[in-house]
Structure 1
Amino acid sequence: MSSSKSNNGPRQVPPPPNSRAGNNAYTRFIPREELQGFASWMPNTFGDNPTAQSSVRAAVPEPEPVSTESAAAIIQAQMHAARQDGYRDGYRDGLVALESFKQSFAQQLAGQFGLVLTNFDHELGALEQHIATSVSRIATQLARQVVRSELTARPELVVQVAIDAVNAVLMSARQITVYVHPEDQAMIAGGAGEVLAARGARLVSQPNIDRGGVLIESDAGTVDARISARWNQAVQALGTQVDWTPGDD
């Protein structure tokens, strides 16, 4: 009974010697005669199966044919969409270009206007200076005419000029000589005789002295009270260049 089981059932092969049977799971070698109903498998088995390929092709639906009218409509829609995209892109780019042009144009105008305003300011300043100089010169010329008219109308003013000039001489001065115009000598002698005598001054007529003026010389210095000298001092203080020239108006 035991021998028949061993002949028909699977053969029990003991584990190889020197193996750790107590620690590892039981393993055995299956002889070839015990293997039945198997075949070797290769990777190209499925690809070479025509039945499988036909089933795959049958699972993929065939595309439906498109009519000429539908194709034309699709092309027309695509062209319309492309035109709309081009219009939007062109409009956007045009706005960007316009904004850039406006900024550039504004900067250019600002630079030009700034230069114009700067030049205008310089020209206006020069014009104001020219007007101020002209007004000052005209006013000085008018003042010169007034002084001449006053000397002509009131020649006795030269007496006070002589007194002031003598008093301006240092008290320690000696050999004082007062030069006046011949037509003013008599008026000065009558109006300032006491002052001249007190300082020991000598009154001398000099034709080259303008009427209304006095020139005093002494050992201590000179006092120039001539009309031309006093006039030049006045116009220098005013910043004008109007000389005292008799008879040029």
Structure 2
Amino acid sequence: MGVPDEIETITAHEPAPPPLQLPTLEEVQAIRDAAQDEGFQQGHGEGYAQGQAEVRRLIAQIEGILDNFSRPLVRLENEVVGALGELSVRIAGALIGRAYEADPSLLAALVNEALETVSGAQREVEVRLHPDDIAAISALLALPEGQRLAPDTSLSRGDLRVHAESVRIDGTLDARLRAALGTVLRRAGATP
């Protein structure tokens, strides 16, 4: 069979590929150095990110530890403030009680102040005191009609309670000192 006239056979010669040339030793070294640098940069970036994540985790862990340490310290500080306040009240109470015994006019002045606070509208007022305090200040007071001193053995020396119609005042040393301590602590920003 013959090739029809209309179809021409094309045979093209492709150029031959150039001979394979191996890179020189310097080119191989440069490729290796570039690959190593690229790997180092990529590894360094990933390592840096992992290091940052580890640092953040450690910081959070340390903050948690510090928080756990600070909570008991705050609780201990509150207990110390309370204990010191209680000790202060006891010491001050003992000193004031001795001052009232040594100078009954101090207690008489306190009784007069209490009476002035609740008197008015001709109220009946009773000031309750330890029996020894009544004996010490009776001569120092001139009580008007409707006001009287009443012995109360449940009270300590220097304590007083005032009763007038619907008014009750706890003037015990303990109550007065705790009120003073509460005021000081509120002004200092602490809690009583």
Do these two structures clear the TM 0.5 threshold for a shared fold by scoring above it?
A: yes
Q: How large is the RMSD of aligned CA atoms in angstroms? A: 3.5
Give the number of the structure with larger relative contact order, counting CA–CA contacts within 8 Å between residues 6 or more apart: 2
Q: Residue deviations 1:201-232, cap 9 Å, x none?
A: 12221111111011222224223222233233
Q: 1:200 Cα shift?
A: 2.7
Residues 1:171 and 2:120 aligned together: yes
1:152-231 maps to which residues of 2 (within 5 A)? Answer: 152-155=98-101, 156=104, 157-192=106-141, 194=142, 196=143, 198-231=144-177
Deviations along 1:54-98, one digit per CA (max 9) or x if unpaired, are xxxxxxxxxxxxxxxxxxxx88x5484785334532342133112
Distance 1:149 1:216, change over 3 A: same
Partner of 1:148: 94
Structure-2-length-normalised TM-score:
0.67
Structure 1 residues without counterparts, runs of 5 or longer: 1-41, 48-73, 241-249
What CA distance in whole angstroms lies between the structure 2 residues aligned with 1:187 and 1:115?
Answer: 67
Instruction: Out of 176-185 and 84-93, give the one that drifted further.
Output: 84-93
CA distance in 2, matches of 1:215, 1:100: 78
* Aligned-pair CA distance for 1:131: 2.9
Distance 1:94 1:179, change over 3 A: same
Unaligned runs of 5+ in 2: 11-19, 186-190
TM-score (norm 1): 0.54
**TM-aligned CA deviation for residue 104 of structure 1:** 2.3
Question: Aligned-pair distance for 1:185?
Answer: 0.8
1:110 aligned partner: 56
The count of residues paired between Structure 1 and Structure 2 equals 169
Classify the secondary structure of the residue corresponding to 2:128: strand
Tell whether the 8 Å contact from 2:85 to 2:181 is kept in structure 1 after alignment.
Answer: no
8 Å CA contact 1:158, 1:213 repeated in 2: no
Quote the offset at 1:169 in angstroms.
1.4
1:97 to 43, 47, 59: 43
Identity value in percent: 16
User: Greater CA radius of gyration, 1 or 2?
Assistant: 1
